[in-house]
């Protein structure tokens, strides 16, 4: 007979108990058993607590941005939360969208390597778009030339560990908005990150090859309110 295992106090257990207690409290409020009106004005502080916890435990820029998002949401819902009237943000917040849209248009209009033409095997070029969804691709081309990746409120995983770069370098253009892109590359590739980040971030976890003339993957593009990560198989 197996001995009973003790219940471990895990974050999932804490979250489940928190949701359960919240449901019970609001049920009592709806039934008129408990009066929560004096306390409802303090609930945005829970969002601040969540955001501060995320910031304290963040190990990357995208993780930190999640914490900033929760704090910003609390301020949005209750502009005087910190004793300062921030209601003006509710009027002029579209300016952020205007600036963001202009940045995306400007960055897209910049000249960059395009899809190869001629007699080149099109399997050497990868194109993937994830909108409110997830895409996972694996490329094993012996003449990899590059590609274009677009993630909008979605995620893309691209495995290039079985690919070989055609020529000295390959160009990969990435764009992530409220989404994430993950790249896996062979350990003998040099990764040259030329990505611009606006309210987002990227990480290069690859190791630098010993050979100075190793194949080079040039990653360019824009990451906004999202994240991108490049790593070798052993870092997966």
CA distance linking residue 154 with residue 11, whole number of Å: 25
When pLDDT is cut at 50, 70 and 90, the band that residue 8 belongs to is low
| Average pLDDT taken over every residue of the chain | 76
When pLDDT is cut at 50, 70 and 90, the band that residue 222 belongs to is confident
Nearest to 207 by CA among 184, 223, 174: 184
What are the tens digits of pLDDT across the range 20-29?
877 787 788 7
The vertex-64 CA angle with 90 and 77, nearest 5°, equals 25
Check residues 224 and 41 and name the one with the higher pLDDT: 224
Residue 223 has pLDDT above 80, yes or no: yes
Check residues 93 and 196 and name the one with the higher pLDDT: 196
CA distance linking residue 36 with residue 75, whole number of Å: 21
Residue 18 has pLDDT above 80, yes or no: no
Q: What was the pLDDT predicted at 112?
A: 59
Average confidence (pLDDT) over 93-114: 67
Check residues 181 and 5 and name the one with the higher pLDDT: 181
Q: Are 155 and 181 in contact (CB under 8 A)?
A: yes
Residue 74 has pLDDT above 60, yes or no: yes
- Distance of CA 210 to CAs 187, 199, 213, Å? 10, 34, 9
When pLDDT is cut at 50, 70 and 90, the band that residue 236 belongs to is very low
Average confidence (pLDDT) over 80-95: 69
Nearest to 55 by CA among 70, 35, 43: 70
CA distance linking residue 125 with residue 122, whole number of Å: 5
């Amino acid at each position: 007979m197996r001995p009973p295992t003790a219940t471990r106090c895990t974050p999932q257990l804490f979250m489940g108990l928190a949701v359960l207690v919240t449901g019970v409290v609001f049920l009592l409020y709806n039934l008129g058993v408990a009066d929560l009106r004096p306390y409802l004005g303090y609930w945005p502080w829970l969002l601040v607590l969540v955001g501060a916890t995320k910031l304290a435990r963040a190990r990357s820029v995208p993780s930190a941005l999640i914490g900033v998002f929760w704090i910003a949401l609390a301020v949005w819902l209750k502009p005087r939360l910190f004793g300062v009237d921030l209601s003006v943000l509710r009027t002029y917040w579209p300016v952020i969208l205007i600036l963001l849209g202009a940045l995306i248009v400007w960055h897209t209009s910049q000249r960059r390597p395009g899809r190869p033409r001629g007699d080149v095997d099109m399997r050497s070029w990868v194109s993937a778009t994830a909108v409110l969804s997830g895409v996972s691709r694996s490329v094993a081309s012996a003449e990899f030339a590059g590609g274009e990746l677009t993630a909008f409120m979605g995620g893309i995983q691209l495995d290039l560990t079985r690919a070989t770069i055609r020529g000295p370098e390959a160009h990969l253009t990435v764009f992530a908005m409220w989404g994430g892109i993950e790249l896996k590359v062979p350990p003998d590739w040099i990764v040259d990150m030329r990505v611009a980040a606006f309210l987002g971030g990227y990480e290069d976890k690859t190791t630098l090859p010993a050979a100075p003339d190793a194949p080079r993957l040039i990653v360019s593009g824009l990451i906004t309110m999202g994240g991108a990560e490049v790593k070798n198989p052993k870092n997966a």
